[in-house]
Chains A and B, each alone.
Chain A
Amino acid sequence: MNGDSHADLLQPPSNIEPTVLERTASHYTPLPTYQLPKGEHRHYQQQYADMYFARLAQLKPAVEQIASEAWADFEIGGETASRKDRVLDVRQGELCWVAGTVYMEMPLKPNVLEDIGKEHWIAAPPPRVKYDTGVGLGGDSERGAHAGGGKGLAGAQIMLEDESGRLRLTGGYLSGGLLVTGAIVAVMGTENSDGDFEVLDLRVPDLPRQPPRWETEDGDAALQGKSVTKKRPSSGKVAIISGLGVSGVEGDTLLLDLLLEYLLGESTDPASQQQAASISRLIIAGNSLSHSSPIPSREELAAATKKGGRKTYGYDSASYNAAPTDHLDQWLATLLPSIPITLLPGEQDPTSTSLPQQPIHAAMFPHSRAYMNPPTAPEGPGWFDSTTNPAEFSADGWRFLGTGGQPVDDVYKYLPDCEERLEMMEAMLRWRLTAPTAPDTLWCYPFQDGDQFVMKECPHVFLVGNQPKFETTVVEGPLGQQVRVLAVPRFKETGELILLDCETLVPEIVRFEVLDEG
């Protein structure tokens, strides 16, 4: 009861030393999957076609294997489905299946030529919530994500593409599933008289192989010749938060201070302090700063040029406000002596705007820098890990894959009737793509040798930051893989902190609220 726990605090002075709580240690191995080469080794001369080609080449074997297993003995009217190598090899009236990349043609998708044409004439349109115009006409009989497009009405057009060409897809089947540009799928059906391919069935690559727990650490030790420790200590919990939104303008940062005191074990009663002591790591999943993106939005640019001031590109050094980063740095530096932190950048953070976003530079954190290792250190990032977005790392043996939310937000724009973000995250896992819509509507680095967004191994935890509310589920794969999917809400709006138990992978919420007096 509360009265008993407060008895420790409300007592006369004595010589008994109170027990000092120790924080559980965190085992952490970051993986450099999304780190780009530095400096002059980063090339931008290549086209994005290389990326699409590599993505198809990497995922086609997997999807074709699943498709051939599923449709090997499929028969309609005495006809079996045959496999076609190229998308354009389908013949009218012949039942066949083929694999390729999905491309969706949507009326409201950003078109760079239209943007350039309109830039001079009209004000910037408000950012689109969805790329599609919405439900097509007479869509009563079809529900689902692509009701309009499935009927071929004013809505999205779905096409299948590979090196040989493009094939338009139709059929009522399409409205049932989620499809976005860039997903690799295998479709079975036949070509109708219009030249469109009527889809009867669809298969995706599904989840890749999932490494067992502790594989990253054991694999490393085996490579270095050390003996593999069989016994691992029991892990604690991992705290996950997103969307701190430090702006430096608002005076009310009470929520952040409450969070700080909770994590440090300074507030609440000893029982909660015990719980806080079991938190071994804090993961900040994006948008720690409120609007520090280096590229000004269209409205800001219009305001800057309208004022008639000097035309400065980038930021205006006279009006640069260092308060937000300073505040964030002080906050982190207060936490860091006690708890290790992993910081992922988000859409509004001061780092590159194209995926994969590179780590926020140590120069932004003059105080927290003491806890970071220099970039070329062989032992890795260290206590304070400013990492990429998306990021892959191994914490307490479990493989985590985290993003700051941009891929899921972009997928959300493609689906006109779907509001279920968990379904989108599950679909991204089944497509094996961390960012399926890159490079179509999501800016990204032009990878040449292989698409880095293809998931080669299935994570144990897939966390996505900056979502409107907290949601979680477990996704199961065909080979027994289990992934805990977490949608992390914005702390600034909801005040929720997620604690993920590292033994059972079950999340729980701690909510911070400031009650208004008036």
Chain B
Amino acid sequence: MPPKRKSSGPRAVPTRTPSNPQSTLSFHGKQNKVTKPGVAPVTKQLKKDPALLEEIARTEIKTDSTPEPKESTTASAAITQRSDEEAQNLAAPSPHPAADPLDTLGGRAQTSDVGAAGGKTGAGWLADEEAQARSVTETQIKQYWRQKEAMRLAPRVHQEGMTVYEKVLREWDMSGQFGTTEAVGEVRECGDADENVKPCIGIARLKRWKRANALGLKPPVEVLAVLLRETEGGNGKAQRAYVDELMSSRFVET
């Protein structure tokens, strides 16, 4: 108990600071700070809702124009590695007719009708598809695309800014995902069956074409022509399906 002071008088309101000029010890206040000056003081601002604080609401979040993650995921790395292998195979075709053992399944398939490993000629081709694809002209590709458009009732929306190549490749990705648009029993106008070549995620487009070819599903040679032109044009991004990039995107909506 502190000693009674004569100066306090009738204690109506107990106060802490007496009128006594004798200085008291105090451990608070700016003069008697014990902490080092470098430490930031704890502010009371955080107790408030940050959404209401003006500073944070006004902060500009820098958005990248092309939101690509800096380090690619292992899946995309695997696909780019395999598409690079394909590009190399295209550049230097194997000299002898024995199948390339490294390419598809790591094994030489015996003579078979429906085979999935590399066919008779090297690098996964069954016959001269590569030569056929290179001989496909631009007009042929445009014709093919016009046929595709004619099969639909209405033109495609949201595809105005894309080149024909890009449209062909996206159609290739999606082929097989939807069923036949005509009713059951109608004859299909387009000769080749575009179905059953999916899935398109997790595999490079060229490999998917080769696989469909090896399994006997007759993928259109115009798509192969577009793919070859894109790879030789140095556009490596064309090897990966667009939905693949979307599905494996690491950006979550805020």
One digit per residue, 1 when the CB lies within 8 angstroms of any chain A CB and 0 when it does not, for chain B 94-137 equals 00001001101111111110111100000010000000000000
Establish whether residues A37 and B196, one from each chain, have CB atoms under 8 Å apart when the complex forms. Answer: no
Residues of chain A contacted by B104 (CB below 8 angstroms): 449-450
Establish whether residues A450 and B214, one from each chain, have CB atoms under 8 Å apart when the complex forms. Answer: yes
B202 contacts the other chain (CB 8 A): yes
Give B contacts to A, CB under 8 Å. 74-75, 78-79, 81-82, 98, 101-102, 104-112, 114-117, 124, 176, 179-180, 184, 195-196, 198-199, 201-203, 207, 210-211, 214-217
Establish whether residues A34 and B176, one from each chain, have CB atoms under 8 Å apart when the complex forms. Answer: no
Establish whether residues A32 and B101, one from each chain, have CB atoms under 8 Å apart when the complex forms. Answer: yes
Residues of chain B contacted by A447 (CB below 8 angstroms): 105
Bound-state Cα–Cα, A448 to B211, Å: 9
Establish whether residues A449 and B199, one from each chain, have CB atoms under 8 Å apart when the complex forms. Answer: no
Establish whether residues B114 and A58, one from each chain, have CB atoms under 8 Å apart when the complex forms. Answer: yes
One digit per residue, 1 when the CB lies within 8 angstroms of any chain B CB and 0 when it does not, for chain A 31-47 equals 11111111011110111
A255 contacts the other chain (CB 8 A): no
Classify chain A's interface size.
Answer: 35 or more
Establish whether residues A50 and B199, one from each chain, have CB atoms under 8 Å apart when the complex forms. Answer: yes
Establish whether residues B196 and A47, one from each chain, have CB atoms under 8 Å apart when the complex forms. Answer: no
A508 contacts the other chain (CB 8 A): no
CB contact list, A16-75 vs B, under 8 A: 31-38, 40-43, 45-47, 49-50, 53-54, 57-58, 61-62
CB contact list, A444-479 vs B, under 8 A: 447-452, 454, 456-457
CB contact list, A186-242 vs B, under 8 A: 211, 216, 219, 223
A89 contacts the other chain (CB 8 A): yes
**Residue of B with least CB distance to A223:** B98
Bound-state Cα–Cα, A57 to B195, Å: 11
Establish whether residues B203 and A46, one from each chain, have CB atoms under 8 Å apart when the complex forms. Answer: yes
Establish whether residues A450 and B215, one from each chain, have CB atoms under 8 Å apart when the complex forms. Answer: yes
**Residue of A with least CB distance to B176:** A163
Residue in B116, B199, B203, B216 with the greatest tally of chain A CB atoms within 10 Å: B116
- Enumerate 22 A-B pairs (CB-CB under 8 Å) in ascending A order: A31-B107, A31-B110, A37-B105, A37-B106, A38-B106, A45-B74, A45-B75, A45-B78, A47-B201, A47-B202, A53-B198, A54-B116, A57-B215, A61-B216, A86-B179, A448-B202, A449-B104, A449-B105, A449-B124, A452-B107, A454-B116, A457-B112
Bound-state Cα–Cα, A40 to B116, Å: 21
One digit per residue, 1 when the CB lies within 8 angstroms of any chain B CB and 0 when it does not, for chain A 71-104 equals 0000000000000011011000000000000000
Residues of chain A contacted by B101 (CB below 8 angstroms): 32
Residue in A38, A49, A223, A456 with the greatest tally of chain B CB atoms within 10 Å: A456
Residues of chain B contacted by A49 (CB below 8 angstroms): 199
Chain A: minimal CB distance from B99 (Å):
11
A297 contacts the other chain (CB 8 A): no
Residues of chain A contacted by B202 (CB below 8 angstroms): 45-47, 50, 448
Establish whether residues A58 and B116, one from each chain, have CB atoms under 8 Å apart when the complex forms. Answer: yes
Bound-state Cα–Cα, A451 to B105, Å: 9
Establish whether residues A449 and B211, one from each chain, have CB atoms under 8 Å apart when the complex forms. Answer: yes
**Residue of B with least CB distance to A33:** B107
Bound-state Cα–Cα, A164 to B179, Å: 7
Beyond A54-B116, A219-B111, is A41–B211 a contact (Cβ under 8 Å)? no
Chain B: minimal CB distance from A505 (Å):
21
**Residue of B with least CB distance to A55:** B116
Bound-state Cα–Cα, A85 to B210, Å: 23
Residues of chain B contacted by A43 (CB below 8 angstroms): 78, 82
Chain A: minimal CB distance from B117 (Å):
6
Residue in B98, B114, B176 with the greatest tally of chain A CB atoms within 10 Å: B114
Chain A: minimal CB distance from B200 (Å):
10
Chain B: minimal CB distance from A459 (Å):
11
Partner of A57, one of B111, B179, B207, B217: B217
Bound-state Cα–Cα, A431 to B115, Å: 16
Establish whether residues B199 and A53, one from each chain, have CB atoms under 8 Å apart when the complex forms. Answer: yes
Residues of chain B contacted by A449 (CB below 8 angstroms): 104-105, 116-117, 124, 207, 210-211, 214
Interface of B is mostly: loop
Bound-state Cα–Cα, A58 to B196, Å: 12
- Other A-B pairs, 8, CB within 8 Å; known A43-B78, A89-B184: A38-B106, A54-B116, A57-B216, A58-B114, A164-B179, A223-B98, A454-B116, A456-B110
Residues of chain A contacted by B117 (CB below 8 angstroms): 449-450
Chain A: minimal CB distance from B193 (Å):
10
**Residue of B with least CB distance to A454:** B116
Residues of chain A contacted by B201 (CB below 8 angstroms): 47
**Residue of B with least CB distance to A216:** B110
Residues of chain A contacted by B74 (CB below 8 angstroms): 45
- The list of the 10 closest CB pairs from A to B, nearest first, reads A450-B116, A37-B106, A456-B112, A57-B215, A449-B104, A45-B75, A45-B78, A46-B202, A32-B107, A43-B78
Residues of chain B contacted by A37 (CB below 8 angstroms): 102, 105-106
Residues of chain B contacted by A32 (CB below 8 angstroms): 101, 106-108
Establish whether residues B211 and A54, one from each chain, have CB atoms under 8 Å apart when the complex forms. Answer: yes
Establish whether residues A50 and B203, one from each chain, have CB atoms under 8 Å apart when the complex forms. Answer: yes
Residues of chain B contacted by A211 (CB below 8 angstroms): 110
Bound-state Cα–Cα, A45 to B109, Å: 24
Chain A: minimal CB distance from B232 (Å):
23
Chain A: minimal CB distance from B80 (Å):
11
Establish whether residues A163 and B105, one from each chain, have CB atoms under 8 Å apart when the complex forms. Answer: no
Residue in B104, B105, B216 with the greatest tally of chain A CB atoms within 10 Å: B105
Beyond A58-B215, A449-B207, is A163–B198 a contact (Cβ under 8 Å)? yes
**Residue of B with least CB distance to A84:** B184
**Residue of B with least CB distance to A46:** B202
Chain B: minimal CB distance from A375 (Å):
13
Bound-state Cα–Cα, A95 to B69, Å: 54
Chain A: minimal CB distance from B97 (Å):
9
Chain A: minimal CB distance from B73 (Å):
9
Beyond A45-B74, A45-B75, A89-B184, is A450–B107 a contact (Cβ under 8 Å)? no
**Residue of B with least CB distance to A44:** B78
Residues of chain B contacted by A456 (CB below 8 angstroms): 109-110, 112, 114-115
Chain B: minimal CB distance from A96 (Å):
11
**Residue of B with least CB distance to A388:** B107
Establish whether residues B106 and A450, one from each chain, have CB atoms under 8 Å apart when the complex forms. Answer: no
Bound-state Cα–Cα, A88 to B75, Å: 33
Establish whether residues B216 and A451, one from each chain, have CB atoms under 8 Å apart when the complex forms. Answer: no
Residues of chain A contacted by B78 (CB below 8 angstroms): 43, 45
Bound-state Cα–Cα, A456 to B106, Å: 16
Chain A: minimal CB distance from B124 (Å):
8
Residues of chain B contacted by A216 (CB below 8 angstroms): 110
Chain A: minimal CB distance from B103 (Å):
9
Residues of chain A contacted by B214 (CB below 8 angstroms): 449-450
Bound-state Cα–Cα, A448 to B105, Å: 8
